[in-house]
Structure 1
Amino acid sequence: MNDTIDTAASSTATLETWLARFALRSARVGDGSVSYREAAGESASDALPLVLLHGIGSGAASWVQQLEALGGARRVLAWDAPGYGASTPVAGASPVAANYARVLADWLDALGIARCTLVGHSLGAIMAGAFAAAQPERVAGLLLISPAGGYGAADESVRAEKRDARLAMLAELGAQGLAQTRSANMLSPHADETARAWVRWNMARIVPHGYAQATHLLANADLAADLARCVGQVPMAVAVGAQDTITPPEACERLAQIARAPFHVVPRAGHAGYIEQPLAYSTLIEFTLTRTFSTTERKA
């Protein structure tokens, strides 16, 4: 028991050390703001910025290992989605993907980023896909990691069931309860305590209102339709952990087929594979940027 407590404390200390290196920043966006973390090394000016979008139970802090690994070669930014961290929520109780895509466009404008490569994890893939479909000229490449497809194409009864079950769980458990009871589902059996502690840390800090809006987004979204619109306009790739039980490999492969995109399966990884297998995912991201997106990723 004491060993577990000591490991958890050590993991939290390690995360907080990393977070101090990539301090939270804020950009004014319309009538609100977006909080984010950023890394940029000495040679970062030679490549297009890389933008990382987190999933429904997470935040910008989940990407600190990628900020460290990839920030030396390019400018890397990870946002807190609207309604997460210190970011202003989108308007309306039941938003759609286009609402988040508009905020993403305004945030990039505020930072002076005309074009970038996008990585979207889980629900972040829905936001990334909507942005790429709306403004393909601004996206040099789109990598979707364990993408959530959304339920927008399903029957209304299915959409309502999925939405209401998640909202009821939020109301019953709150952020701390979700972190304690649901965080283990995000990882494979191979994950160490450090990865488990980091997932719990992020999930415990969700903002209930923002999470509720994101739940509606998941019910309303149809990522497959947005990816079909991107074919021929935006280079794409899809990756998933071999032991992802939330967005299983077969579901992600179907999205890759719709996108006509390369498909990668990462061994010994679950849904939040980039947290438990940081080297494998950072290598995958770098490979995708420089090989799959090689004709468009570099600056003109």
Structure 2
Amino acid sequence: MRLLASLWPDDMTHTAFVAEQSIEFMRHQAGTGQPFLCIAGIYSPHSPWVAPQHYFDLYDTDSLQLPTFPQEIESQRGPQNYPDDELRLARQGYYGQISEVDLHVGRMLSSLDEMGIADDTVVIFTSDHGEWLGEHLRYGKGYPAHDQCSRVPLLIRPPGDTFTARRDSGLTEALDVLPTILDLAGIQVPPHLQGSSLLPRLHGDAPGGASALTEHTGWKSLRTDHFRYLLHADGTENLYDLSAEWGDYRDVASDHAYASDLAASRHELGRKLLAAERPLPRAWPY
């Protein structure tokens, strides 16, 4: 593994390009006085670790905290298999890219202030996936959707000063973002749309979701407050107690002490899949 310092100026990276194009678009729309939706799709942080060198230099590899592993996983590591120096380098690259993203997101937010439209604009910052960064002896993302891959930031800044800043630790899904945007814009949520508006939670009037689903061909991974449940196309199941030490490494589906938790997870997955097929009731806001 190695970091790739970009050879072009800071304002010519992909992240800088996306920010500049987004600012230009928002400035044009602000001039027309018309509402707009701007989606700034920034690729970073993502492998390969490419960014201007000075962002990597912000992080001293010797001071970066490394993940720990249960003994059965630690015994698989070695000089050629996820050594400490490689894990540190991965973190330096990832964190350096995050710092570049942070700078350009700040530029976009500042531009809203400069245009005088910040108080009329909903800002949402999120990501489509995370990164193992060597945990579970993996890089990238994928099966079985461990928290390192599926737990991502979701920051929402509603317009004006009608909301009190709060941190909500309840479960949320990417499917909830679109209904939230529509709700904040006063637009009817179509009955076929999956997900739920987070507006009640922004007001502090609703609890977090009961579960969050990640799925792909051949498997479904259900995250609840304390467990991750996996169901495969061949009927095999896994259950991980995330409140236990090394819980996300050790399958307890065959442990009789977890029989009721396994049954509850099956029930929640079935309930969630049925709910996804059920049309929303029509509720016109006018």
* TM-score bracket for the superposition, by shorter chain length: under 0.3
Larger Rg: 2
**Which fold has the larger relative contact order, with Cα–Cα distance below 8 Å and residues 6 or more apart in sequence?**
1
